[in-house]
Structure 1
Amino acid sequence: MGTFDYSKLTDPGYFADGRLPAHSDHIICKNVQEAWDEVSSYRMSLNGSWKFRYSANLNDLPKDFEDPKVDCHGWADIRVPAHMQLEGYGVAQYVNVQYPWDGHEDIDPPMIPTKDHPVGNYVKYFTIPKGFINHGLYIRFDGVESAFALWLNGVYVGYSSSSFDAKEFDLTDCMKEDGENKLAVQVFKYNAGSWMEDQDMFRFSGIFRDVTLFTRTSSASDKGCGVAGSEGAITAASGSKNGACDISGMDVYDIKVVTELTDDYTKGKLHVTLKGCGSGQMSLSLFKEKWDRDLNIQTADGDEICSIDTEWTEDIKDIKEDSRNICSKKTEVTLTADNPSLWSAEDPSLYALIITLYDENGAECGTILQEVGFREFVMGDDHIMYLNGKRIVFNGTDRHEFSARTGRALSHKDMETDVINMKRNNINALRMSHYPNNSYMYKLCDRYGLYVIDETNLETHGTWDAAGQGKKPQSYMVPYDNEDWLDMLIDRGTSMLERDKNHPSVIIWSCGNEAFGGKVIYELSEYFRHTDPTRLVHYEGICHDRRYNDTSDMESRMYPPVAEIKDYLKEHRDKPFICCEYTHAMGNSCGAMYKYTDLTEEEPLYQGGFIWDYIDQSIIRKDRYGVEFQGYGGDFGERPNDNDFCGNGIAFGGDERKPSPKMQSVKYNYQPFAVIVDEDADTVTVRNRTLFTNTDQYIMRLCVERYGKTEYQKDYIVSVEPGQQEVFGLSLEEKIGYGEICNKEGEYVIRVSFLLKEDTRYAEAGYEVAFGEDVFMVENGPEYIVGSEEELALAMNDQLPESESEAVDAGSDDSEADDEALLNKIIIPEDEFGNSIDITFGENKPYTVTYGLCNVGIKGENFEALFTEGSALTSYKYMGKELLESKVLPNFWRAPTQNDYGNGAPARYAQWKIASMYLMPKYDIYTQYEHFLGGTPFEVKEHEDHVSISYNYKLQTSPEAECFVTYDVYGDGSIRITLSYDPVEGLIEMPEFGMIFKMNADYDNLKWYGYGPEETYSDKMAGAKLSMYEGKASSQLEPYLLPLESGNHAGVRFASVTDERGRGLLLATELPEGMSFSALPWTPHEIENAAHHFELPPIHHTVVRASIGQLGIAGDNTWGSLTHPEFRLPVEKGKTFKFSFMLRGI
């Protein structure tokens, strides 16, 4: 068989040696029961413990370790599947664009590092169970990063590269049927193909997917084709190469299924092509599948639909010589189905094609269960993509395979958890970025219903980025027009296509990611079209290199602004447009996502996009004290690295793989039904965004809440056809039904939801998939608005006076003019019987004022407040308990988000950070020395029912600015705090405008009536509901990889911060659209200073912030895109900021 030549590791033309041809991922089982149970007596897993030795580079390899005479039993143990680096050998390295060896070794393609080139030497000793061997022994590696050489019992078997493609080898000639076999695998971290694997991911190496031994079929009449040779080796009875022999059994090496539908979709044909060897017959039967909820398995649903018997009908003429013994014959048959159930993400109907194999004596020797979905995916004459005749919209996400404990070695449970969470949050499409995934993932997509873009294992971002910046010539780019790389790339595309071609979920082949353009990638696209005309071809890189524009059947972009998409489509109507990556979900992100999803309804050629990306790539590490944390680039001592740019998920890393707060907006923006509730017009408008599903397949629930408590609820079944819109009036019965309970004063929410009628694979009956709501007041309260992004942004601007003349100067006599706007009462529902607590503000109760030398104290019923000259409110006691642990001060800063860092906001807004940290009281007499001689540090005014204390602060900005804070203290302990600021020409807008103070950490219990349940911001309101929520201050900081601004709640009418006894502070606002509120254990500055959550200080406080709002969190990208203008705080000269809220003890 020859020997392995290490020098070929740098040859782009050397990517496979002794490897068997790629084929479909079917499994041959012994009988139909095994097929339904998804087990096979013909297969044996080699997963588990292997022997292992680590080599730093090719000069450090163990000599002759593959030789059976070299005893490796004493080597260390390593798990398979796993990455070497996560098993204690070498370090994980996260880099995005740059190659991992950058700065260490100066090499050009196709050369590879020589000094730091880790090699894993794996050995597996195994014995073959008696009776396992039928016709030869084969081995399958589903994923090895990035290349490996293989030996069995000292005989060189072969070599293969491409980390994410399955590889199979024939072991028949060198196996021992009796006794111990020694399998040796040498895994190389780098080979020439590593230049094609520059994906934005952690760089690992090792055997990270399943390893399986398998044999070919047998029958009761088959006595085997091998006989024992010298030293226990199995040789062919016929003497032919690789164990080929005249066998009585049948074996199917490859299956290809193609569905064809009539124009009216009432008849379906299933074209089946089988390739294999042996002699005998095959019976093909088609059944409808169903999911057994109780057993959580697939079963046949009813009788056989159709069947056909066949045998091999022709020889394959172009088969390679070394594959002739396993794949030399083929046959083609067609089965028909009347009125087939069509496969889609909405209804992933599957059929079971049962292929039973019989030997030439008529004995059954094997069974294959191939799942089939009848569907048609085409490009229409109008250049729009259609699924089963309907315009498709991708509500998608990209996804790296990743687990925080095992890297890309995912368990089936990890994969299914991800798919379930996608379905629960209305995601209907998945881009396998940027490589073929574990084969099990495609089965899940078939069964749960996800549209898949299957992507070739190709990314060379670092080469064309360097060429684009002029650091390297164009010849540095891989593959570009260099045909030295063509065969390797075609091989990767072939491996993907042949394995995944039968999955109905796969509707688009992708040529790879971020590899510029050129002739080589174009040739790959042509291979896809020629080999599989039933699917379309995708490649984003043509937007950088238009010479081969036909490489992609669609215009695909990354992170274009919506305006740019609209402008492009005005001029280019020859292709549909998708965003293969958009709304970059790094940290606290996904602001204004709705603009993209809205565009899918406005522009037919825009057919959706894929969020980057699904789950954070983080690795669990321990700090020096043994506490686990989520590690990112640089946490493993690796250099170079790209820090936390690996944390872009709408799901958190970690064991639970739970959705992050961003998923709230994703679910809403992707919801299948748009629901517009108009309480004034007594209507509910329902727009059905689905392709095939009537709304009558769901329950429509009308619910009326008052301050978060359900007062009325009723379920309906309504009919809205796919793609249609209907307006439903609220009937007299409904109006009477909830009208009777609306005679109590307060704020109400009328919400209409769509719920699952029955249990599904991903959610239980009653699970909400879509909703809409409206808000209204009863009695004399203001008419509150619904808190959508647009409406909240307008409200945040509109609540401010239009001119300087309309603003009230803090501390002036005019402050009395606002008394009649004082919030008088809030109502908190307390129990299931509808009883509520009415908390009043500003009651006219007696109080006393004490003027000290440096402080002014105010005492009233159960409270005492202390104001310090030249400072702020420094003490507030209620029921004898001090509630403040800091001054109450203006705040203009938030901890930056990753989008803030990416667009330079920390530097751009730095003056507001300084202004927040270094407030200086502004006195009538300007020097501190003169102040002590008789300045005026604050102003106190007594009114009939309250006392006003006003402070004027100088802000450390350039140009200089100032702000005012007024405290109106009432005899019941209520304090109305008013912050005002006059924008100064030349001074940029601020990140936040509000007040901040600390309480003791014992005050950890939060309740708020506002939008939730997840954090909300002015541009991330989609999916939030107005209701009553509760939580813990200590858990409000979300576990983004970096501590960032988080935990904000917009549209809050009132909130409480209390201890375990329910005592603490209540905050409320007169603003009908509410305020922004948060309570965290740390200040924005402490959060900003920590690079990891374990670096945050020990918890001593609860830091409360109340504000008019803050800068939207943005998300178009994380390297320059700004918060959209409507979600910034306005800074126009002459438009005074003013924010008021009430505070009192409870």
Structure 2
Amino acid sequence: MSFSYVEDVLPGHGALPPRAWYAGSSAASLSLNGDWRFRLSPTADAHDESFAAQGYDAGAWSEVAVPGHWVLQGHGAPIYTNHLYPFPVDPPHVPTENPTGDHLRTFDLPDGWPAEGGATLRFDGVESCARVWLNGTDLGEFKGSRLPHEFTVGHLLKPAGNVLAVRVHQWSAGSYLEDQDQWWLPGIFRDVTLLHRPADCALDFFVHASYDHTAGTGALRVDSDADGRITVPELGVDAATGETVTVPVEPWTAETPRLYTGTLDTGGERVPLRVGFRTVELSDGLIKVNGTPVLFKGVNRHEWHPEHGRALDPATMRRDVELMKRHHINAVRTSHYPPHPAFLDLCDEYGLWVIDECDLETHGFVEQGWRDNPVDDDRWTPALLDRAARMVERDKNHPSVVLWSLGNEAGTGRGLTAMAEWIRGRDPERLVHYEGDLDCRDTDVYSRMYADHAEVERIGRGLDGGPARRRALPFILCEYAHAMGNGPGGLADYQRLFETHDRLQGAFVWEWIDHGIADERYGYAYGGDFGEELHDGNFVCDGLVFPDRTPSPGLTEFKKVIEPVRIDVDAPAGTVRITNRYDFRDLSGLAFSWAYEVEGEAVEAGSLVVPPLAPGEHAEVKLPATPADGRGKETQWTVRAIDADDHEVAWGQAVADPATVRTEAFGGRPVRGQGSIALGPAEFDARTGELRRLGGVEVVSPLLDVWRAPTDNDNGASWQGGERLGLLWRQFGLHRMRHRLVGVEPGDDALTVRTRVAPAGRDIGLRAVYRWIADADRLRLTVSVRPEGDWRLPLPRLGIRLGLPGGADAVRWFGGGPGEAYPDTRAASRVGLWHSDVDALQTPYVRPQENGARADVRWAETGGLRIDGEPDFSLTARRWTSEQLDAAEHLTDLTPTGTVWLNLDHAQQGIGSQSCGPGVLPQYRLTPGPAEFSFTFRELTS
């Protein structure tokens, strides 16, 4: 048997031409999903093809689930690389060590399977190269892992005992085209289906459904390989295929996903149609749908399930779409391959703009300056065109698809140009995207990745230069705001730019989900956890949702930043400005309410009457008269917009009256005892000046703290320019600061402790002075900080850390919440009265790092203490130290101690997105300088 097909640059042979994918046809079908017999071999040629013959005994083989990946079912191991190929770059050759999985499935035709007509065997996704036999007959082989392939099999079928054999090779020439920043996971991972093909069946068809926004009419034409009739009862349409019918319609948009149910009847088959009328065009230098420019508020979406990899079930796909819609996401880039076609059905139904991306990436060739890159080698062009055609033909009838993307990070070359020309010839009704084409020779949009805020603003203002064609095109960030670990920061700053400059038509967060693999050792495993020779660590965990699809704080922040309604509360004026930021919808479907809150608790509430503002319109709405006095406590207005399903769409807040500052004097006097100093309710160590106890609460004394467990964005990426702060902080020793006692000074009305805090091996330091004053039940600390030496880097944080050896379970606070917030990730932090247990305050990033800070805290209660800020602080409470958090590689490395550690921060460094994007903006840097901050402590009594 020849195995030359494995390294053949051609896409394969034997498969039918690509066509539209559809479900729900009147023709019979049989799912071949389920348990298959399976044998794994170390090389492609370990066994001959005898296993494909009828009567072969595979009783000793294992079983695997199809759809599925064998490496997630106990056979071999997954591999994660970002862009390096996990095999020698020697195109089109692949290693002799080429894991090969032989799959066998025996099936009977169901009762009632038609005796007349033919049949087609369809594979929706196999990685990376497959050869197929049915009843001992070789059907052919194919590459193109995330694309469908069909074979004619009707003449081979038997009523019972059919044997389907599939040999799958992990590595092939096709692997060079699929270097897509994801786990390498071989297997039959999408559906396998047998389709009856009756006489006069529907073959391929193309639904053309445009919308004339000036006339309010839709034009419908269905071009079909088989003649037939098109009916859309709701529109009174009954027309022949190829005939254009123009009728009044409601248009399809991502905000108003109006679909009309129809049928294509070719005589032998009835195919359901879901028709969405919409027109996509490049006009006035902008992407317009139905005559209106759109603003993409998008995400990049790899397909992922923590147990099943890219073998997604319908419920998981629906959950993804519902989560996106609930969080105001309106667009998806299908990075970096066409998704399961059922996902696009959901995008049509729920309303999402889609950039459908071809199954193409050759990123690893960047390591050799793009030498031998397949997209600039004519030998590979047939494979590229095959992939483009299989994407376009499969997905062309989805109204949600508004742009075709040639692929991702594949350099430039003649093959891409050939793909663009073919796509335009086949479907001129959509636009073409590709990020790597900086001259925009082949594209209809100027697309970039991770451009920083300053560059994006220059582009928006038309000051970016470049070729004339590019300057005339709209701009999108197809990847930005790298959502790896804690972050991304700077989302609100980007969004202000998008909403200011028309040319900036939005962006797509990288990415939707963390690709952690469920693993009993670690909770979730990432790159390197399976002994890979090459890997990129937790760079595969960079999503807005955790592997189990729990929203991360980043998704909560993104939801707030891209709210489709802006609510600006002007407390002094007693008004609210409501702005409609939808592109197409008015606000008639929303209800607005107000609440007047005293120290975070609503004391009065009511509804607001807001006109049904059209997109872009705003209105000033009067708030009611200020309710009862807040009795010296902080009061505020909170205004919310709620949809018909009682989901919060938007909110705004403003302080009505700040809290009255207590003016009582602290008159306590330090009193020396045996090795201790008493001051009000507190006891201090006389030698060190450290606080030991406050009333009945034992305390590990507050000390100045500047360290945080670096986030993925702090650490940055090796290819990034500029500071990699996590590494720089370690280089300067900020993770091992030493505290030198300068003096303990009891005075008439205060205890003053002077220290110097500095790292070994460096001459930089921080002078820290702690001044304690007290009365009978309160203890007040003022910390004064002055930097010394040449500080050339920002601080991670600036505040104090104290421990509660007696532990703590519950935390109650008035301030920002309910989730974490940092200087450039705080849009979603809402001031209120919040409750949590200590464990729930932790954010479970797959790789442990700084997390869980609550911003703008006025006061907090935990572990028997009440802590008041002057005026506020950032609060972190956890059962381990920052050093223990820093040392952990997985969540299972974190073991709670008996002490709860509190960080009370005056300030923190911002987050940024430098794990693959820009660093922290200047306004969010924590530059060392003189600082003073205060806290008041009081023991809680029952």
**What's the TM-score, normalizing by structure 1?**
0.78
SS at match of 1:442: helix
1:551/1:768 Cα in 2 relative to 1: closer, same or farther (>3 Å)? same
Partner residue, 1:405? 307
Pairing 1:638–2:566 present? no
Correspondence 1:900-1049 to 2 at 5 A: 900-902=714-716, 903-910=723-730, 913-914=733-734, 917-922=737-742, 937-943=743-749, 947-956=750-759, 958-987=762-791, 988-1000=793-805, 1002-1049=807-854
Pairing 1:143–2:125 present? yes
Correspondence 1:1024-1103 to 2 at 5 A: 1024-1058=829-863, 1064-1071=864-871, 1074-1103=872-901
- The farther-off stretch of 204-213 and 677-686 is 677-686
Q: Distance in 1 between matches of 2:145 and 2:493?
A: 37
Q: Out of 436, 441, 445, which is 1:554 matched to?
A: 445
Pairing 1:258–2:258 present? no
Q: Distance in 2 between matches of 1:912 and 1:842?
A: 42
1:266/1:986 Cα in 2 relative to 1: closer, same or farther (>3 Å)? same
Letter aligned with residue 86 of structure 1: L
Q: Out of 896, 908, 931, which is 2:710 matched to?
A: 896
Q: Distance in 1 between matches of 2:134 and 2:32?
A: 14
Correspondence 1:589-738 to 2 at 5 A: 589-623=487-521, 629-654=523-548, 657-719=549-611, 721-730=613-622, 734-735=624-625
Letter aligned with residue 1005 of structure 1: A
1:284/1:729 Cα in 2 relative to 1: closer, same or farther (>3 Å)? closer
Q: Distance in 1 between matches of 2:62 and 2:634?
A: 67
Q: Out of 232, 246, 255, which is 1:286 matched to?
A: 232
- Cα root mean square deviation, aligned: 2.0
Q: Distance in 2 between matches of 1:1120 and 1:387?
A: 30
Letter aligned with residue 120 of structure 1: G
1:889/1:28 Cα in 2 relative to 1: closer, same or farther (>3 Å)? closer
Pairing 1:870–2:667 present? no
Deviation string, structure 1 residues 238-260 (Cα, Å, up to 9, x no partner) = xxxxxxxxxxx431111211113
1:954/1:648 Cα in 2 relative to 1: closer, same or farther (>3 Å)? closer
Deviation string, structure 1 residues 485-505 (Cα, Å, up to 9, x no partner) = 111001001001001000000
Deviation string, structure 1 residues 627-650 (Cα, Å, up to 9, x no partner) = x60100011112211100001101
SS at match of 2:511: coil
Partner residue, 1:570? 463
TM superposition shift of 1:967? 4.0
Q: Does the Cα contact within 8 Å between 2:512 and 2:545 map onto a contact in 1?
A: yes
Partner residue, 1:455? 357
Number of aligned residue pairs: 924
Q: Does the Cα contact within 8 Å between 2:7 and 2:92 map onto a contact in 1?
A: yes
Q: Does the Cα contact within 8 Å between 1:1001 and 1:1099 map onto a contact in 2?
A: no
Pairing 1:1128–2:925 present? yes
Letter aligned with residue 352 of structure 1: T
- The farther-off stretch of 910-919 and 964-973 is 910-919
Q: Distance in 2 between matches of 1:589 and 1:869?
A: 43
1:475/1:187 Cα in 2 relative to 1: closer, same or farther (>3 Å)? same
Partner residue, 2:720? none
Q: Does the Cα contact within 8 Å between 1:145 and 1:163 map onto a contact in 2?
A: yes
Q: Does the Cα contact within 8 Å between 1:685 and 1:725 map onto a contact in 2?
A: no
Partner residue, 2:19? 23
1:175/1:1124 Cα in 2 relative to 1: closer, same or farther (>3 Å)? same
Partner residue, 1:531? 426
TM superposition shift of 1:985? 4.5
1:871/1:119 Cα in 2 relative to 1: closer, same or farther (>3 Å)? farther
Q: Does the Cα contact within 8 Å between 1:696 and 1:717 map onto a contact in 2?
A: no
Q: Does the Cα contact within 8 Å between 1:107 and 1:113 map onto a contact in 2?
A: no
Deviation string, structure 1 residues 606-647 (Cα, Å, up to 9, x no partner) = 100000000001101112xxxx60100011112211100001
Q: Distance in 2 between matches of 1:196 and 1:282?
A: 39
Q: Distance in 2 between matches of 1:273 and 1:350?
A: 19
Partner residue, 2:6? 9
TM superposition shift of 1:54? 0.4
SS at match of 1:919: strand
Q: Does the Cα contact within 8 Å between 2:610 and 2:621 map onto a contact in 1?
A: no
- The farther-off stretch of 62-71 and 139-148 is 62-71
Partner residue, 2:719? none
TM superposition shift of 1:1123? 1.6
TM superposition shift of 1:81? 0.6
TM superposition shift of 1:949? 3.4
Q: Does the Cα contact within 8 Å between 1:904 and 1:1120 map onto a contact in 2?
A: no
TM superposition shift of 1:669? 1.1
Deviation string, structure 1 residues 952-991 (Cα, Å, up to 9, x no partner) = 2342363343423324242333221222111235113311
Q: Distance in 2 between matches of 1:199 and 1:724?
A: 38
1:163/1:911 Cα in 2 relative to 1: closer, same or farther (>3 Å)? closer
Q: Does the Cα contact within 8 Å between 1:467 and 1:477 map onto a contact in 2?
A: no
Partner residue, 1:323? none
Partner residue, 1:476? 372
SS at match of 2:59: coil
Letter aligned with residue 529 of structure 1: R
Q: Does the Cα contact within 8 Å between 1:883 and 1:1065 map onto a contact in 2?
A: no
Q: Does the Cα contact within 8 Å between 1:509 and 1:537 map onto a contact in 2?
A: yes
SS at match of 1:54: strand
Deviation string, structure 1 residues 10-43 (Cα, Å, up to 9, x no partner) = 1212x1211111111123533xxxxxxxxxx601
Partner residue, 2:642? 755
Partner residue, 1:336? 246
Q: Does the Cα contact within 8 Å between 2:765 and 2:789 map onto a contact in 1?
A: no
Letter aligned with residue 1032 of structure 1: D
Letter aligned with residue 540 of structure 1: E
| Deviation beyond 6 Å, 4+ runs, structure 1 | none
Pairing 1:775–2:655 present? yes
Q: Distance in 2 between matches of 1:187 and 1:780?
A: 72
Partner residue, 1:296? none
Q: Distance in 2 between matches of 1:690 and 1:704?
A: 28
SS at match of 2:76: coil
Partner residue, 1:154? 136
**What's the TM-score, normalizing by structure 2?**
0.95
Letter aligned with residue 370 of structure 1: L
Q: Distance in 2 between matches of 1:307 and 1:387?
A: 24
TM superposition shift of 1:882? 3.6
Correspondence 1:781-860 to 2 at 5 A: 781=661, 823=662, 849-852=671-674, 854-858=675-679, 860=680
Pairing 1:213–2:194 present? yes
Q: Distance in 1 between matches of 2:270 and 2:574?
A: 60
SS at match of 2:197: coil
Q: Distance in 2 between matches of 1:1076 and 1:779?
A: 18
Q: Does the Cα contact within 8 Å between 1:891 and 1:916 map onto a contact in 2?
A: no
Q: Distance in 2 between matches of 1:986 and 1:195?
A: 49
Letter aligned with residue 79 of structure 2: Q
Q: Does the Cα contact within 8 Å between 2:870 and 2:934 map onto a contact in 1?
A: yes
Partner residue, 2:271? 368
Deviation string, structure 1 residues 1061-1112 (Cα, Å, up to 9, x no partner) = xxx11111122xx211110111111100111111123432211010111101
Q: For structure 2, list consecutive stretches of 5 or more residues without a partner in the other structure.
A: 466-470, 717-722
Q: State the percentage of identical aligned residues.
A: 32
Pairing 1:505–2:400 present? yes
